Amino acid sequence: MMAAVVVSPMTFGIIGCGKIAINHVTALQSIPGVDVRAVVDVDAERARGFAERFGIPAAFTDTDEMLASGLDAVTVCTPHTAHEAGVVAAAQNHVHVLCEKPIALSLNQADRMIQATERAGVRFGVLFQRRFWPPALRVRRAIEENALGTPIVGGVVARFNRDAAYYAEPWRGTLAAEGGGVLMTQAIHHIDLLQWFMGPAVRVTGRVANLAHGELIEVEDTAGAIIEFASGGLATIQAGTTFNPGLGAQVWVSGSNGRTVSLTEFPEGIGITDLWTLPGEEEYATVYRQGGTFDIPLSDIHRNLVPFHAQQIADFVAAIREDREPAVTGREAVKSLEIVQAIYRSSQAGSPVDLRMT
């Protein structure tokens, strides 16, 4: 009879007790040897309620106080504007840290976060759980196996429905707290997949506008861009939160041999292969149907993503135990942020923006 595998205990804390923190605690508490010991939130009642709900011993309102309590790692589930503070505080306390996307509001913030964690010698990961979708892994594998040749053209089409109820949370739709609109909060997941498939981006030409939500938000609800890649490839991005009903998102890539592969997120949180033209493996999916489910509650979207949050969080735990880089490092997460920021800059300047090829 084989002996059970023994793993060293690892203590975690959670910074921020909002909706997405439910995915984190659910994933962490399912991993053998992981003990979620503490949570922190600026709202004391919310922190206590979250801790009681999930059987967590300690609730704090001060991040430094929680970090000083003796933790191995934390996850950061705060609004975008607080990502830098949480990650840097973890690094200063020599605590490994996994942060929700986007990595930060700006490239300067992201650089400081990466530098702080590297100086401290702690692991730093960023949540892009859609990379763990089987269709996304299938596309990536096809590219790595040269089944497409060189990816030469691709695109993102993200057509979401966000209404007044969604933007009722005070931080949503504000430049100071969210850093942007559809690009920063929704489409950045699909931009991350696009650049993961196409390779390093080198130049961006973009335009953003607020065309339907002017009374609700101060950031963009509509965006379009052309991305140029180091390979010579080109891709387009169109994204919006103005669609009613929402129609999900598609990420597609076509290679130098003419073959095309694609995945669609519909309904939100669920990824499927919708187009696959490799010989002998052809798939053509019909995504929409009359009477089908379109817009679903945000809680259901998060629930759909739980298994993939769990996979990425489990990878992060394994990375700490195995002393290796996590699946999505801080340096990797900067790439999608740089594309988004370049779209904003290009829109303001009315001209292309060259990227630094992080």
Q: Answer whether residue 46 shows pLDDT above 90.
A: yes
Whether residue 80 is found in the same domain as residue 229: no
Whether residue 28 is found in the same domain as residue 69: yes
Q: What is the pTM of this model?
A: 0.95
Whether residue 239 is found in the same domain as residue 91: no
Q: Answer whether residue 261 shows pLDDT above 80.
A: yes
The CATH number that applies at residue 140 is: 3.30.360.10
Rounded to whole angstroms, what are the CA distances from 267 to 140, 159, 238, 264, 305?
22, 11, 18, 9, 11
Whether residue 111 is found in the same domain as residue 16: yes
The CATH number that applies at residue 114 is: 3.40.50.720
The boundaries of the domain holding residue 122 are: 10-126
- Listed residues 126, 151, 181: the one ending a domain: 126
- Per the prediction, the chain carries an average pLDDT of 95
3 assigned to some structural domain:
no
d(CA 272, CA 253): 15
- Listed residues 67, 97, 126: the one ending a domain: 126
Residue range 282-331, pLDDT digits in tens: 999 999 988 888 999 989 998 999 999 999 999 999 999 999 999 999 99
Residue range 192-229, pLDDT digits in tens: 999 999 999 999 999 999 999 998 999 999 999 999 99
Residue range 61-102, pLDDT digits in tens: 999 999 999 999 999 999 999 999 999 999 999 999 999 999
pLDDT the model gives residue 358: 55
Q: Answer whether residue 357 shows pLDDT above 70.
A: no
* Bridge partners (DSSP) listed for residue 156: 237, 251
Whether residue 76 is found in the same domain as residue 114: yes
117 assigned to some structural domain:
yes
Whether residue 83 is found in the same domain as residue 225: no
d(CA 23, CA 269): 12
231 assigned to some structural domain:
yes
Whether residue 89 is found in the same domain as residue 150: no
- Listed residues 110, 126, 142: the one ending a domain: 126
**Per-residue tokens: 14:** 């959670």
Whether residue 179 is found in the same domain as residue 249: yes
Residue 215: strand, helix, or coil: coil
Directed axis angle between helix 330-349 and helix 107-120, to 10°? 160
243 assigned to some structural domain:
yes
What share of the chain has pLDDT > 90, as a percent? 93
Whether residue 283 is found in the same domain as residue 254: yes
Whether residue 140 is found in the same domain as residue 110: no
Contacts of 69 (CB under 8 A, 6+ apart): 13, 37, 38, 58, 60
Whether residue 120 is found in the same domain as residue 151: no
4 assigned to some structural domain:
no
200 assigned to some structural domain:
yes
Q: How many domains does the chain have?
A: 2
**Per-residue tokens: 116:** 């702080």
pLDDT the model gives residue 4: 47
Contacts of 339 (CB under 8 A, 6+ apart): 191, 195, 201, 204, 225, 227, 355
328 assigned to some structural domain:
no
100 assigned to some structural domain:
yes
Whether residue 341 is found in the same domain as residue 196: yes
